[in-house]
Structure 1
Amino acid sequence: MLMLWLPVAALATQAPPPPPDITQRAGFDQHLGAPLPMDTRFLDANGKPVDLRTLAGGKPLLLTLGYYRCPNLCDVVLNGMAHTLAKLDLAPGRDFAVAFVSIDPTETPADARHTQTMLERMHPDAHVPQWRFLTGDQASIGPLARAVGFRYFYDQKLHQYAHAAGLVAITPEGKVAQYFFGVSWPPASLRLALVGASQGRLGSLADRLVLLCCGYDPATGRYSLAIGRSMQALGVAFVLALACWLAWLRARARA
């Protein structure tokens, strides 16, 4: 009788299935180049008001949306961010800003502070104290989510938000530069996104050449080798080499 009861009890306590139209109601719509409401006010983990423009401080901004009481997905996203950022030679706070914005208007700075403290303990090499964990009301959350194309909704049956997972790279001027979907991202690609979003303020000449030869694929959220750009770069390099060679020949003839 006990063996028969256990499966029944498990079925009785199993969570209801997600809505069949979840992919239509939750996801990312890519708004590349779209401006964000950078002057919208939020509260940081200490309860102090801050806007995204001040938070970015003239640097690229790495933005993600979720909520602190999320029972599963957001923890995976935050840990994925920490793993990736710990491997970069660019540092949060110094080279770029990081912001996690709660989509739940009932959450408080105390929720943000708890998440930040836990993440800092788990990832001491990810510069978590330099990240900003924000909360706000619906009047602040809604416009930001719409600007980056972040669709979500509250599921009354599951008592949680259904939402997508990913990062958004924002330029210092507050425009969407690139999307990274999922919960794990190659550090090299994320670094290139930050260099590209910085509009020449970060990175080296080698980084700019890589960006010239690689194209951002919106379908995958990753960089791939762009044949056309590579040929253009090789053509430019050939012309420069030929010009230098001709100049050397003229200088030698005069001598």
Structure 2
Amino acid sequence: MFGVLTLSWAVPMPKDHEGFFDPTILKIEEEKYLGKQVADVEFTDEHGRTHKLLDYIKGHPTALILGYYTCDSACPLIIKNAIEASKNISKDFRGIVLSFDKEDTLRDLQEFKKKLGISPSSRWTFGIMKEEDIKKLSQSLGYRFFYSRQDRVFVHPNVVIFIDPEGKVSRYLYGISPRETDFRIALAEAETFRITKNTIVDIAFMVCYKYDPNTGKYGLNPVVLFAIAGFTLGSFTLAYAFIKRAKEV
């Protein structure tokens, strides 16, 4: 399916024959990168303005997606779904999409946004980078990808990377359909890497949901569920005893 794959950023070469592809070589070794500083690269936004990444995200929890603008499969899905998942979140966060394709241009970026129907008022910033910055950023995130010359596509992880306000990696969320709950929790986790006040909603989500590194998603924390069940049962028991006693009196 993938044809001949071109090596990108120190990824082991495929073995045996040109059709071989081992998806495990794209796995991000999270234990090496969580809590690490991301590379302070430069990117150019759709208006032609240049930004330093760490200056741009400083003071804000950030959701970062790496993709490429000529993609017609996974990239449009994960980006569109991420924007949808984050649209109701009132938290002051940064959403950034950066291309890892050195051939992408600002026109490609603008056409991509137009095709997806992303409005200029979107809270997400889109950008392109030079080759050396692509390399620095992807290496600092543990993000690896291949280019298939035969199929003319990139093979890459589908992941939203969350970064704390000081520029350190706080979470990887995998899949092309991130949920609002996942986004809300991951942003709250990123923000708590510094001393800050969370909203009651964020705290509730962080307590009630537990991150599962095997699936790359959040699920209800069974410990909390049992605790809530116990508390509820205890409350009903106390209420029943109080009412019964009141009747007896």
Structure 1 residue 158: Cα displacement: 1.2
Shift of 1:233: 10
Residue in 1 that maps onto 2:106: 109
1:114 Cα deviation after fit: 2.2
1:111 is displaced (CA, Å) by 1.5
Q: CA deviation at 1:145?
A: 1.1
Is 1:20 the equivalent of 2:15? no
Question: Which position in structure 2 is the counterpart of 1:158?
Answer: 151
Cα deviation for residue 44 of structure 1 reads 1.0
Letter paired with 1:212:
V
Residues 100-142 of structure 1, C-alpha deviation per residue, up to 9 Å, x if partnerless? 11111111122112223333xx355x952x3111111221011
Distance 1:198 1:79, change over 3 A: same
Does the residue aligned with 1:220 lie in a helix, a strand or coil?
A: coil
Of the three residues 213, 222, 226, the one matched with 1:218 is: 213
Partner of 1:183: 176
What is the CA RMSD across the aligned residues, in angstroms?
3.0
Q: Is 1:194 the equivalent of 2:187? A: yes
Gaps of 5+ in 1: 1-13, 238-255
Separation in structure 2 between the aligned mates of residue 156 and residue 23 of structure 1, nearest angstrom: 17
Give the counterpart letter for 1:77 in structure 2: I
How far residue 189 of structure 1 moved from its aligned partner, in angstroms, is 1.9
Larger-gyration structure (1/2): 1
| Distance in 1, Cα, partners of 2:209 & 2:73 | 34
Q: What letter is aligned with 2:146?
A: F
Give the match's secondary structure for 2:145.
strand
In 1, Cα distance between the equivalents of 2:160 and 2:121?
17
CA contact 1:46–1:113 (8 Å) conserved in 2: no
TM-score, normalization by structure 2: 0.74
Distance in 2 between residues matched to 1:15 and 1:212, nearest whole Å = 42
Aligned to 1:253: none
Given that residues 25 and 152 in structure 1 are in contact (C-alpha distance below 8 angstroms), is that contact kept between their aligned partners in structure 2?
Answer: no
In structure 2, runs of 5+ residues without a counterpart are 6-18, 232-249
Task: Identify if the C-alpha distance between structure 1 residues 230 and 71 changes in structure 2 by more than 3 Å, giving closer, same or farther.
Answer: closer
Q: Share of identical aligned residues, percent?
A: 25
Distance between the aligned counterparts of 1:152 and 1:193, measured in 2?
A: 24
